[in-house]
C-alpha cells in the first residue's frame, strides 16, 4: 500500500524538529529504520534546507539521504529512488520543480512507484511538496502574486491549497479558481495540517487529516451552484510535540 501525506508548509514544518507529524510519516513504513530520501528541487537543492532535513530526519530515527538534481551524481536514477521507503519533497517553487523533474525523468519514476501494486512508499512534503501530488493548486511560483497552477503529477484527484491560515491571498484565489473551473474540487489545509491518502490497487482513499495542534484547519472545498462550500474534514490530533523552532510559511 502506497501513501501520500500532503502538508501545508514545507520549510516551516521541517524546522519543527519534534513535531509528531514526522514520526507519523516514518511509522507508515512499518520499518524500524526506514530509508528517507529528501528531494529539494523546489529550492534549487538549497544547502540550508538540506541541512534542516538531516537535522530533523537524523540517523537515530531513520536512514536519511538527499537527491540533488542540479548537480546530479546518480546515473541510475530509477534504481536509486526505488531504494527508499519515504520520498520527502521540499517546499519552494512548484512549477520549476515539476519542469526539472520532467527533464530528469523523476516524475515518471515516482509515478511508476505510486502505481506499482507492490509499492509501500510514502510520498510526502509540504507546500510545493504537497501540491505536486494533486492535479493542481495555488502557487507563488511566478512571483509575489499568487497564481493558479493547473498541472501537478495527478497522483491524487482534485486540487490542493496549502498555507490556508498563513497567506491572505490563498483562500480568495482558491475560491475564484474553483468558481471559474480552473481548478477541480479539492482540499485546503493550514501550515501545520496534513492529509493522509492511501492507494491499494486502483483504490485511492483519504484516510484522515492529521494535525499536531488542536482545532486543525483541513477542508474539502468545492463550488456548488455558484458558491463555495467548505467542509471541515475529520482530523486526528497527534500527541507528542515538543519544543519547536520557528520557521517561514513556505
User: pLDDT value at position 140?
Assistant: 94
Q: How far apart are CA 136 and CA 50, in angstroms?
A: 26
Catalytic status, residue 200: no
Mean pLDDT of the chain, nearest integer: 94
7-16, 61-70, 233-242: lowest mean pLDDT where?
Answer: 233-242
User: pLDDT value at position 246?
Assistant: 31
Residue 250: is its pLDDT beyond 70? no
Mean pLDDT of 56-78: 96
Hey, how many other C-beta atoms are within 10 angstroms of the C-beta on 172?
12
Pick the catalytic residue from 66, 88, 163, 175. 163
Mean pLDDT of 36-48: 98
Pick the catalytic residue from 3, 52, 66, 127. 127
Q: Where are the beta strands (DSSP E) in 2-54?
A: 2-7, 35-39
Strand order, beta sheet including 227-232: 147-149, 136-139, 159-161, 186-189, 218-224, 227-232
User: pLDDT value at position 239?
Assistant: 86
Catalytic status, residue 127: yes
What backbone phi and psi angles, to 5 degrees, belong to 115?
-90, -10
Helix and strand element counts for the chain (H, E):
8, 14
Predicted confidence (pLDDT) per residue in 70-96, tens digit: 999 999 999 999 999 999 999 999 999
Residue 245: is its pLDDT beyond 70? no
Tell me the pTM: 0.94
Q: What percent of the chain has pLDDT over 70?
A: 96
Mean pLDDT of 170-198: 97
Confidence of residue 175 (pLDDT cuts 50, 70, 90): very high
Residue 26: is its pLDDT beyond 50? yes
Q: What percent of the chain has pLDDT over 90?
A: 94
- DSSP H helices, 89-194, are 94-104, 106-115, 128-131, 170-180
Residue 117: is its pLDDT beyond 50? yes
**Residue 227 per-residue DSSP state:** E
Q: How far apart are CA 196 and CA 236, in angstroms?
A: 10
Predicted confidence (pLDDT) per residue in 196-213, tens digit: 999 999 999 999 999 999
Alpha-carbon dihedral 158, 235, 126, 243, rounded to 10 degrees: 170
Residue 243: is its pLDDT beyond 50? no
Amino acid at each position: 500500500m502506497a501513501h501520500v501525506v500532503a502538508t501545508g508548509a514545507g520549510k516551516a514544518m521541517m524546522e519543527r524538529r519534534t513535531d509528531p507529524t514526522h514520526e507519523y510519516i516514518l511509522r507508515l513504513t512499518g520499518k524500524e529504520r526506514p530509508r528517507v530520501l529528501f528531494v529539494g528541487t523546489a529550492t534549487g537543492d538549497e544547502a540550508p534546507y538540506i541541512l534542516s532535513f538531516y537535522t530533523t530526519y537524523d540517523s537515530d530515527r531513520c536512514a536519511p539521504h538527499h537527491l540533488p538534481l542540479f548537480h546530479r551524481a546518480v546515473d541510475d536514477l530509477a534504481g536509486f529512488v526505488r531504494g527508499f521507503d519515504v520520498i520527502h519533497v521540499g517546499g519552494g517553487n512548484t512549477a520549476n520543480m515539476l519542469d526539472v523533474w520532467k527533464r530528469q525523468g523523476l516524475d515518471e519514476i515516482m509515478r511508476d512507484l505510486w502505481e506499482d501494486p507492490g509499492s509501500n512508499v510514502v510520498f510526502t512534503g509540504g507546500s510545493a511538496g504537497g501540491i505536486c501530488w494533486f492535479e493542481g493548486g495555488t502557487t507563488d511560483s511566478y512571483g509575489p502574486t499568487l497564481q493558479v497552477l493547473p498541472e501537478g503529477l495527478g497522483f491524487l484527484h482534485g486540487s490542493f491549497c496549502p498555507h490556508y491560515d498563513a497567506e491572505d491571498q490563498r483562500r480568495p484565489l482558491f475560491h475564484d479558481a474553483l468558481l471559474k473551473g480552473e481548478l477541480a474540487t479539492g482540499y485546503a489545509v493550514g501550515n501545520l495540517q496534513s492529509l493522509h491518502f492511501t492507494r491499494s490497487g486502483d483504490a485511492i482513499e483519504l484516510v484522515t487529516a492529521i494535525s499536531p495542534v488542536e482545532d486543525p484547519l483541513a477542508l474539502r472545498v468545492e463550488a456548488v451552484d455558484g458558491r463555495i462550500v467548505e467542509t471541515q474534514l475529520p482530523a486526528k490530533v497527534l500527541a507528542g510535540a515538543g519544543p519547536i523552532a520557528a520557521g517561514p510559511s513556505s
